[in-house]
Amino acid sequence: MPRVFFCLLILAATADARVIALSLDGAGWHVWRQDPAARELAVLDATAGAGSARPMIPAFPSTTANSHAALYTGVWAGRNGIASNDPPMLPRAAHTFLERGNGFRSTFLAAEPLWVAAARQGRSVAAFQVTQAYPFTPQSAGLDLPQPPVVCNGYQTARITPHAAIRPANVKDEDGAFWTEGLPRAGRPQRFVTWTTGPYHFHAAIWGDALAVAIDPGRWVLVRAEPLESTPPLGRPLARHYSDPLPLPDGNAVSFRLFHLAPRGSDFLLHQNAVSELACAGEKDLAAQLIATRGPFVGNGPSQLLRQGEFGAVLAQGGDGTAERRYLEAVEYVVRQAASQMQWLWERRQPDLFLGYLNFPDETDHLWLRPDPDARITACRRWAYAAVNRGLEALASLAGPDDTLLFMSDHGMTGVSRHLAVNTVLHDAGLLAVDAEGRMDAARSRAVAVRSGVLLNTTDWKDGVVPPEDRRKLLREVEKALTSVKDPRTGGRIVTRFFDPARSQGRYGYECAACADLSFDVAPGWGMTTRLESGPVRVLAEPAGEHGFWPERDDMQAILIGRGPGLQLPRRPTAVDAAAVIAKQLGIAWDPR
């Protein structure tokens, strides 16, 4: 539907219209409609039943940063400046074609986002974890407005400490002299220990079924060893065995889950949540108040601890599911914290427009989405989706009958079991050079892989070597190299089709100064890696979920689901239509062209 259609309809909205729009990272239309695990998303089903739902075409590549930028600015990468998660650095003349930036930060943003446009027109706005907002600037956060939007971000700020699995090997014994203010339980503890993570020095007193954790003698939290959850969070609170937040000296906070505690503290497993800086623009001291009231912002879950075996042996390695259940309790905690903080922000500000974000199901489907489903893994995914739904219940309850509630996402997800090592293919074809240490050499390379595409080292780049007249010939060489690699199982092509950005007319945002010179798609079940491997084909030790492919594929399409007075969704929406839908419901002028 043409964008001007929405501009004409904006006049129908009332001045007191309110909109809640939530982005669910990685929530694909195909998974929502067909995957057994997604049957738990009852809130989405109910919203669609009361309103309408459409599959939405994301940006290309179908990745998080650039698709969210399209959602929030209403224009593709050529206008908003966000080409991918890790775009090449610009201007080209000042950077080699191997240098990469961070597409999630406001540094690359070249268009005004919706939350600033709404605030500029006098509407109150709160935005939680939106992309391209931090570092806060007048363009990204409306700092120059009389009534700027409240914008909170904890993903692009400093990561102070990662998630940690604390075991006896990570601690040192001490004599207990630290506890000068008295102990939180009667009777002498069986063991006193201390450990350091990042800038924080923790002390713990251990009893038979619990431990107290403190940084300052007078402030502690009690962490009990509770049984591991055995069922998904359908009729119980999320993450009910995590401790109360422990305030930290810098104003942050951290919580703990004691999964195991042996007699006299001889063995234990304590999960310590990650600590990230939470920054908020638009209201002084808001981040500190948010943490003090609702606890820490955690961000992503501890998937790395699961992969590293810190929670025990995973199912694929003969585990009994204990490791996955420990991780899933941590997922529940992340969802609970995000939903709680969004609720608090909504209740405090009562904004006309609220924009929120949840990093699930992206994280868990990256771990567990398979080309060939495994019943045990599907049960894990279903648990995660049940946790997501509980968070959505809390957020959906904020919207009254006269408000608009909108759920959207950045891309879909599909299972892969093999990788095409694109840079290895280019290296073997003599198009990509490496030095003696195996590092890519810009001055001697003609092409390099980027997500779902190839970038040419043309002479407009610093140290570029490909003159304009050789560009078309080089593209043919790249296509020949990629099509020559065949699927060892079937003999068929892995790269199924190519797309020339120069002929795209800006379609889906893959024509811009930081975009690939040639884009392509691969066969189902195949993913892509830019790492240099020992061969062009790599069989994954464990299948995984991936995205980044051609956005019109069924498995890459995102969701657009909503209800509200007069809500009309485009028949075939793309990511750049979402902002127009929100603007119409909010009753503000919107024309990002």
Structure-block tokens of residue 471: 């560009």
Q: pTM score, two decimals?
A: 0.95
List pLDDT tens digits, range 382-414.
999 999 999 999 999 999 999 999 999 999 999
Confidence of residue 1 (pLDDT cuts 50, 70, 90): very low
Tell me phi and psi for residue 119, to 5 degrees.
-65, -35
pLDDT the model gives residue 15: 58
pLDDT the model gives residue 340: 97
Nearest of 398, 390, 289 to residue 351 by alpha carbon: 398
Residue 422: alpha-carbon gap to chain centroid: 24
Cα angle for residues 366, 269, 155 (degrees, 5° grid): 40
> Which are the contacts of 273, defined by CB distance < 8 A and separation ≥ 6?
163, 242, 254, 255, 256, 296, 298, 302, 330, 333
- Is-cis flag, bond preceding 361, omega within 30? yes
Number of CB atoms found within 10 A of residue 195's CB: 18
Task: Name the 3-class secondary structure at 368.
Answer: helix
> For 8-17, 357-366, 369-378, which range has the lowest pLDDT when averaged over its residues?
8-17
Q: Are 271 and 211 in contact (CB under 8 A)?
A: no
Confidence of residue 83 (pLDDT cuts 50, 70, 90): very high
* 7: pLDDT strictly greater than 70: no
Nearest of 127, 149, 156 to residue 342 by alpha carbon: 127
Q: Which residues are registered as beta bridge partners of 24? A: 358
Structure-block tokens of residue 39: 């049957």
* 4: pLDDT strictly greater than 60: no
Q: How many CA atoms within 13 Å lie on the side-chain side of 401?
A: 0
pLDDT the model gives residue 2: 38
* 159 torsion bin: left (phi>0), alpha (psi -120 to 50), beta (else): beta
Confidence of residue 220 (pLDDT cuts 50, 70, 90): very high
> Which are the contacts of 395, defined by CB distance < 8 A and separation ≥ 6?
20, 22, 339, 342, 343, 356
List pLDDT tens digits, range 306-349.
999 999 999 999 999 999 999 999 999 999 999 999 999 999 99
* 11: pLDDT strictly greater than 50: no
CATH 3.30.1360 for domain 419-542, yes or no, is yes
Choose between 164 and 218: higher pLDDT. Answer: 164
Q: Quick one: which H or E segment has residue 474?
A: helix 471-483
List pLDDT tens digits, range 28-61.
999 999 999 999 999 999 999 999 999 999 999 9
Q: Quick one: which H or E segment has residue 272?
A: strand 268-272
List pLDDT tens digits, range 461-507.
999 999 999 999 999 999 999 999 999 999 999 999 999 888 887 88
In CATH terms, the superfamily for domain 3-75+111-161+274-413+553-586 is Alkaline Phosphatase, subunit A (3.40.720.10)
* 3: pLDDT strictly greater than 60: no
Locus of tokens 């929530």: 27
Nearest of 181, 217, 213 to residue 194 by alpha carbon: 213
pLDDT the model gives residue 352: 98
pLDDT the model gives residue 9: 36
Nearest of 424, 381, 449, 490 to residue 98 by alpha carbon: 449
Ordered by start, the domain boundaries in the chain are 3-75+111-161+274-413+553-586, 164-272, 419-542
Q: Do domains 3-75+111-161+274-413+553-586 and 419-542 have the same CATH topology?
A: no
* 12: pLDDT strictly greater than 50: no
Number of CB atoms found within 10 A of residue 563's CB: 21
For residue 128, CA distances in Å to 21, 321, 339, 384, 482 come to: 11, 33, 10, 21, 41
Q: Strands of 451-513 (E only): list them.
A: 453-456, 495-499
Q: Are 547 and 117 in contact (CB under 8 A)?
A: no
Q: Which residues are registered as beta bridge partners of 150? A: 126
Q: Are 501 and 517 in contact (CB under 8 A)?
A: yes
pLDDT the model gives residue 577: 98
Structure-block tokens of residue 264: 């006299």
Q: What is the DSSP string of 297-310?
A: ---S--HHHHHTTT
Locus of tokens 């982005």: 23
Q: Strands of 510-573 (E only): list them.
A: 518-522, 526-529, 537-546, 558-563
List pLDDT tens digits, range 418-443.
999 999 999 999 999 999 998 999 99
Mean pLDDT of the chain: 95
Q: Are 67 and 411 in contact (CB under 8 A)?
A: yes
* Separation CA 158–CA 277 (nearest Å): 5
List pLDDT tens digits, range 116-135.
999 999 999 999 999 999 99
Tell me 496's DSSP state. E
* Separation CA 242–CA 225 (nearest Å): 10
List pLDDT tens digits, range 140-198.
999 999 999 999 999 999 999 999 999 999 999 999 999 987 788 878 899 999 999 99
**β 526-529/414-421 pair status:** parallel
Q: What is the DSSP string of 405-427?
A: EEEE-S---EEEEEEEEHHHHHH
Locus of tokens 């603007």: 583
* Separation CA 92–CA 280 (nearest Å): 33
